Structure 1
Amino acid sequence: MKRDYRTLIIQAIKHNYWVRLLLLLAPVIIILSCTKKSAQNVVQPPDPPKKETTFKNPLLGSGADPWVIKSGNSFYYMSTGVSKISITKTPAISELAKANPTVVWTPPASGPNSKNIWAPELHYLQGKWYMYYTAGASSDLATQRCFVLENSAAEPLDGSWTDKGKLSDPDGDFFAIDGTVLEYKDKLYFIWSGQISGSDITQRIYIAEMLNPWTLKTHKVQLSLPQYDWEKNGSAVNEGPEILKNAAGRVFLVYSGSSCHTDNYGLGMLSLKENGDPLNPADWTKSAVPVFSKSIENNVFGPGHNGFFKSKDGKEDWIIYHANAQSGLGCGGARSPRIQKFTWNTDGTPNFGVPVSTTQSLTKPSGE
């Protein structure tokens, strides 16, 4: 029978049997006491740590010829490794230093691609991963050529990399470095920096149509050679070609000019006219001035050999490049990878701004 404690209290007052009343109410008193004590002893969880929304350059202490490609929700970073090719996978490129590189390929002990592994680039073409890189047969840099590896795995850190050989024009197989790929109107084009003969010392930008991701279909065509004073500091150099497209599909070729041994190493640009033929030099217009160059005020010297990528949510455009933090550091291991957001001018051309200082806090790429 359910007890009416109010009635019991009234009866206890009338008949003066407090002891019996306390015995009946004891379970209720104990439960209420324990409940109150438990509530007092509950430990409140600490506030979650505040998420960092900014970062500073450089991303790493060292890393020449940086390259980034976004696939799915991940970024894949690469740079010159000299004796190996590594890929660093990260969900946030601004937090690259927290990720570990994975060595995916080491060169053979001897042969045409056994030495001086430079400027690797990762591309996803026709359902497979391809890695374009520069290598040579000896310490003599005149042997440097462009090569390609293939991987059919869905994830570039999985599977194995197959050597697909050298990419070159048999009628002009001379010094060749910094290969990249242009996808345009259902065709593939290979673009690189090279020389016109075995005795030439001027680096030029060449292009050829590709039969497939590892074979050239046409002979090379020269798109650019150093012609302005800003491209001839230290030596006459056009190298590190990279493709950039705006929202309308207009094609730009951004390259590095002057010797990387100088502080004046910087970026120049060629623009392909609308519906132009990439193999026709007349369809490209060259900027007479650099589009990205050193900033003495910000202590950024020799910014160059860049790449481009979208932010994680695809809303922003970013450039990655290497630079030195002091004057006179040249072409060595002091070059470090940096990123910064860029915008677009009203005429559809990119506006890269000024290389930012390593002391400046930058907002992380959107989506990170």
Structure 2
Amino acid sequence: MIRRLLVLVLATAACVAGLPASQAIATPAVRNTNPIAERRADPHIFKHTDGYYYFTATVPEYDRIILRRATTIQGLATAAETVIWRKHASGEMGAHIWAPEIHFINGKWYVYFTAGRRDDIWRIRMYVLESSSANPVTGSWTERGRITTPWDTFSLDASTFVTNGVRYLTWAQQEPGISTGSNLYVARMGATPWTITGAVTRLTVPTLAWETRGHKVAEGPTVLQRNGRLFLTYSASATDANYCLGMLTASATADPLNAASWTKSPDPVFASNDATSQYGPGHNSFTVSEDGRSDVMVYHDRNYRDINGDPLNDPNRRTRVQKVYYKADGTPDFGIPVADGPTPVRLKSYNSDSFVRHWEFRARLEANVAPLADSQFKVVPGLAGSGAVSFESTNFPGYYLRHRDNELWVQRNDGTALFHNDASFTQRPGLAANSALSYESLNFPGRYLRHTNGLMYLQTPADAQARADATFVLE
């Protein structure tokens, strides 16, 4: 179910999105600017009860674990970064320091991470750090050692979640007798946050075409719990442009240790996109928006497709975020990796559960939009200036919502003054509610974006019905 967001009056958020403060009548609760961090892969963001977001990620040197904190997700972009641990000079934990995750468990902080040996960098195993400090950025850390699994083999990407009062560990590992790079597993956590107990369940093996491009890999598992279900996303294929996200789904009341509880999505749920120039999105985690109303996906990708040599030696994976939407059946819709810059929004009708979308470039109003990106627009400074705003299509960058003969279309910016004027709108308090928004034509004052009979027009709202039809909430 798509959940309506509280619209906040925040001038600062408008400035983040590149809009003048004078136009900050109302902005959505989730609006960020990507990337959040350059040269930071396998990102993990944890929102704690102290009001801070904690961020850690793989650094391209693979030699240390870093931590940042801020009171907002966007604030992590400029937050000071502290090294909380460095690789060993010899032996275990001496190379390939990968994929740290930070969690708060039973009153203490824990960082799960992956490491190789100094004398055998591909002897990859999972390890844990512990801190009892209130502030893990400045506190001291203790090595709690390796997480032991049934096989002494290549293992990585430990993550933890709680469901029905029980804490579990999920991870990726190479199992003897299976010719893959890694599969996904889950087990109940033991007496400490660095041990497991009882049966280990194999959740999935990469066999599908999109899971086996370059390498047969399933890795980076993480769990999102919503709408009575567990959604376990994971990364598949080689770490170049083939990298993508898959998903397993289970009922929240099912036994997560029963492999039959989980259903694999037949297609990737998040993948490279040429239109937005985002490639190899993967190794994600989930956090929540500042108001707690929206789930936010955190992931890395590159903004170019071609890589020279081993992708592991390319340092330019960046941390990015975008809001998670939900389909009518309650399953997440991650859409596409959006273009760099301000994250897009959806214009939701004030008087119906429908959204502005383009269909064969005609703008219309529709519920349950598929693909999601057809209903996502980047709100940018108006092409014609004058403190206005313009709406750029998410899946057709360079195309903007514009009026033509009082109809609304999504068309390519041709650079003319006429197009710039037709695609620029003054953001006003909602004609039907000040908590919402309305958009007045810059070059035809008094006419507003308005839906009628399922299509979008530019019209003068003459009555209460028309004013409601010309009022929108940004989500």
The unaligned stretches of length 5 or more in structure 1 are 1-47
Relative to its length, the structure with more helix (as a share) is 1
For the Cα contact (< 8 Å) 2:228–2:251, is it kept in 1? no
- Give me the whole-angstrom Cα distance separating, in 2, the residues matched to 1:143 and 1:105: 20
For the Cα contact (< 8 Å) 2:91–2:119, is it kept in 1? no
For the Cα contact (< 8 Å) 1:174–1:198, is it kept in 2? no
Of 188, 196, 221 in structure 2, the residue corresponding to residue 216 of structure 1 is 196
> Which residue does the alignment assign to 1:346?
328
Shift of the alpha carbon at 1:120?
A: 0.3
- CA 1:275–1:96 in structure 2 vs 1: closer, same or farther (change >3 Å)? same
- Give me the whole-angstrom Cα distance separating, in 2, the residues matched to 1:215 and 1:348: 33
For the Cα contact (< 8 Å) 2:322–2:343, is it kept in 1? no
> Which residue does the alignment assign to 2:164?
185
Given residue 146 of structure 1, which amino acid in structure 2 is its aligned partner? M
> Which residue does the alignment assign to 1:297?
275
Q: Does 1:52 align with 2:29?
A: no
- Structure 2 residue matching 1:241: 3-state secondary structure: strand
- CA 1:168–1:219 in structure 2 vs 1: closer, same or farther (change >3 Å)? farther
- Give me the whole-angstrom Cα distance separating, in 2, the residues matched to 1:183 and 1:134: 21
- Give me the whole-angstrom Cα distance separating, in 2, the residues matched to 1:333 and 1:317: 28
Equivalences for residues 350-361 of structure 1 within 5 A: 350-359=332-341
- CA 1:326–1:315 in structure 2 vs 1: closer, same or farther (change >3 Å)? same
Shift of the alpha carbon at 1:108?
A: 2.5
> Which residue does the alignment assign to 2:72?
92
TM-score (norm 2): 0.63
- Between the aligned residues of both structures, percent identity stands at 38
User: Which stretch of structure 1 is more off in the superposition, 316-325 or 218-227?
Assistant: 218-227
Please give the per-residue CA displacement for 1:275-321, whole angstroms capped at 9, x wherever unaligned.
11111101111101011111111101100001111011101111111
> Which residue does the alignment assign to 2:118?
138
TM-score (norm 1): 0.80
Shift of the alpha carbon at 1:218?
A: 2.2
> Which residue does the alignment assign to 1:127?
107
Q: Does 1:253 align with 2:216?
A: no
Shift of the alpha carbon at 1:269?
A: 0.3
Please give the per-residue CA displacement for 1:90-141, whole angstroms capped at 9, x wherever unaligned.
1222233321101111232222212111000000111111110000113644
Q: Does 1:333 align with 2:315?
A: yes
Equivalences for residues 302-321 of structure 1 within 5 A: 302-321=280-299
Task: Please identify the structure whose Cα radius of gyration is greater.
Answer: 1
Q: Does 1:226 align with 2:206?
A: yes
Shift of the alpha carbon at 1:74?
A: 1.3
Relative to its length, the structure with more strand (as a share) is 2
- CA 1:359–1:176 in structure 2 vs 1: closer, same or farther (change >3 Å)? same
> Which residue does the alignment assign to 1:281?
259
For the Cα contact (< 8 Å) 1:66–1:305, is it kept in 2? yes
For the Cα contact (< 8 Å) 1:254–1:267, is it kept in 2? yes
For the Cα contact (< 8 Å) 1:202–1:225, is it kept in 2? no
- Give me the whole-angstrom Cα distance separating, in 2, the residues matched to 1:229 and 1:301: 18
For the Cα contact (< 8 Å) 1:188–1:213, is it kept in 2? no
> Which residue does the alignment assign to 1:39?
none
Shift of the alpha carbon at 1:219?
A: 4.2
Equivalences for residues 254-273 of structure 1 within 5 A: 254-260=233-239, 262-273=240-251
- CA 1:286–1:209 in structure 2 vs 1: closer, same or farther (change >3 Å)? same
For the Cα contact (< 8 Å) 1:59–1:96, is it kept in 2? yes
- Structure 2 residue matching 1:227: 3-state secondary structure: coil
- CA 1:194–1:56 in structure 2 vs 1: closer, same or farther (change >3 Å)? same
User: Which stretch of structure 1 is more off in the superposition, 195-204 or 98-107?
Assistant: 195-204
For the Cα contact (< 8 Å) 1:59–1:336, is it kept in 2? yes
- Give me the whole-angstrom Cα distance separating, in 2, the residues matched to 1:162 and 1:236: 35
Which structure 1 residue ranges, 4+ long, deviate > 2 Å from structure 2?
Answer: 48-51, 138-142, 197-202, 329-332, 359-364
Shift of the alpha carbon at 1:216?
A: 1.1
Aligned-pair Cα RMSD in Å: 2.1
- Structure 2 residue matching 1:116: 3-state secondary structure: strand
> Which residue does the alignment assign to 1:37?
none
Count matched residues.
314
Please give the per-residue CA displacement for 1:311-349, whole angstroms capped at 9, x wherever unaligned.
111011111110110112334211111111121112221
For the Cα contact (< 8 Å) 1:75–1:90, is it kept in 2? yes
The unaligned stretches of length 5 or more in structure 2 are 1-10, 18-31, 346-377, 379-475
Given residue 318 of structure 2, which amino acid in structure 1 is its aligned partner? S
Please give the per-residue CA displacement for 1:50-105, whole angstroms capped at 9, x wherever unaligned.
96142431112211111101113211111113111110111222233321101111
- Structure 1 residue matching 2:145: 3-state secondary structure: strand
- Structure 2 residue matching 1:148: 3-state secondary structure: strand
For the Cα contact (< 8 Å) 1:226–1:237, is it kept in 2? yes
